[in-house]
Structure 1
Amino acid sequence: MNSAVALLTVFGLCVRLSLTVQVGLSNKVLVFPYETDFSFVALVPQKELELRAFTLCMRVATELPEERQIILFAYRTADYDELNVWREKDGRVSFYLRGDGVFFHLPPLTTFRTSLCLTWDSHTGLSAFWVEGKRSTYQVYKPGHTIRPKGSILLGQDPDKHLGDLEAIQSFVGEMTDLNMWDFVLSKSAIHAWNNGHQVPKGNIFDWATIEYELHGNVMVVDDD
């Protein structure tokens, strides 16, 4: 399927792709084996992403060199990138809320799995990344902002415009698992618990065990051995 057609009409028009929606990835890993401009996973949220706070967590591993930009999470409405998470070309990790982003110096992503969380609260603007349960310094970013609903969420690719325009050089290559998202900021103790594999409140936007998703291109689902 052509990449632009595959990514398609989903943005802004709320038209479902004619692919099978699958449910649940408990004890599974998404493997993105190599660079493409057509492989991605579309996620179906449990509720619309009209957010004034959130926590996003995932476990990720990659062999890509630090100077290679990587998209880790992309949420786009018809006209804007509402929430994108990146590893930048200089190795920093960043996220963007409809405009200029905010950048963090974190331990590098490597071939060994990294537990990564991101928290943001519109009321204060406080944002931070958490790596292996340890918090970065807070940065104040876009207090008063609201993330808008009725968009589409992708793993593995960055949709640069309404109909796609995917680029292989930005694609994710590696493994992702245990992606969960909440519409509030998890406590420090809850993030520590998630990092250690203990029970936490189920993600009310995405819960890995019950997540709804569509596979496109050459993404593989494998057992988390």
Structure 2
Amino acid sequence: MKSVLVLLGVLLPLTCFGQSGLTGKGLFFPTPSVDSYVRLFPLKPLNLEAFTLCMRLYVDPTIVNDETRDTILFAYRTQDQDELNVWLESKNISLYLTNSLVGVTYPTPPLSIFRTNLCLTWESSTGLTALWVDGHRSTLQAYGKNIQVQSDGTVLLGQDPDSLLGDFDESQSFVGEITDVNMWDYVLTGDQIRHFNDKVWVGPEPNVINWDTVQYKGHGTAFVVPEKYK
């Protein structure tokens, strides 16, 4: 217990920041909660007809791999509805666009305490979507053809909002560490996505959410993980 307290003592409480840029840093959500989240402020409105969304995850597998529990990995919601949500559901990764009922699901190996590099791609013109885990692509699936993700919403990490910025459920909260959340408004090539496994990103600059420069604001009992732990 003492070592845990020492670690938490060197992390920065989430309530202490509301600034820009998380280069080399992560966000740590130590326990299930109903009030811990980070709001990200994208570089441009999420008025999307295509995207690539990437992130790195370290999870508490005893919690998030519970088959009776759903865990939110990324949430974007407008006042009226969920627009772009990524879930871990019964050990599957699921993507929902413009609704919270009909999505596309990818059976995946259980996430672990060790880093997982995760990317999702989608384009409206073809409806093709794919999941990438540690540089390996899933089979393509058809989903969301000719739809559009709408702007004027809120991007959250850590919680799934059932209203624009509230109505959270502890049993759906993220537990673990999340870092390097980046988004582009187009589909990256396979070679570019495979480079996401590298410590130094050499691909195109993210033009929707850029982890290195993103403005963010935290709430609750999560922490910023300093670069020395990366």
State whether structure 2 residue 219 is matched by structure 1 residue 222: no
State whether structure 2 residue 212 is matched by structure 1 residue 209: yes
State whether structure 2 residue 173 is matched by structure 1 residue 176: no
Residue from 50, 55, 59 that aligns with 1:58:
55
Partners of 2:212 and 2:165 in 1: CA distance: 30
CA contact (8 A) 1:92 1:106 kept: yes
Alignment match, 1:26: 23
Alignment match, 1:95: 95
Once structures 1 and 2 are overlaid, which stretch shifts more, 111-120 or 64-73? 64-73
Alignment match, 2:11: none
Pairing 1:110-125 to 2, within 5 Å after superposition: 110-125=112-127
Percent identity over the alignment is: 50
CA contact (8 A) 1:106 1:136 kept: no
CA contact (8 A) 2:64 2:174 kept: no
Residue from 107, 110, 118 that aligns with 1:108:
110
Aligned alpha-carbon RMSD (Å): 1.3
Q: How many residues end up aligned between the 2 structures?
A: 206
Cα deviation for residue 142 of structure 1 reads 1.1
Structure 1 letter corresponding to 2:123: D
Alignment match, 1:10: none
Q: Secondary structure at 2:194's aligned position in 1?
A: helix
Deviations 1:121-158 (A, max 9, x none): 10100001100010001100010010000000000000
Partners of 2:36 and 2:142 in 1: CA distance: 34
Cα deviation for residue 162 of structure 1 reads 3.9
State whether structure 2 residue 62 is matched by structure 1 residue 43: no
State whether structure 2 residue 75 is matched by structure 1 residue 74: yes
CA contact (8 A) 2:64 2:71 kept: no
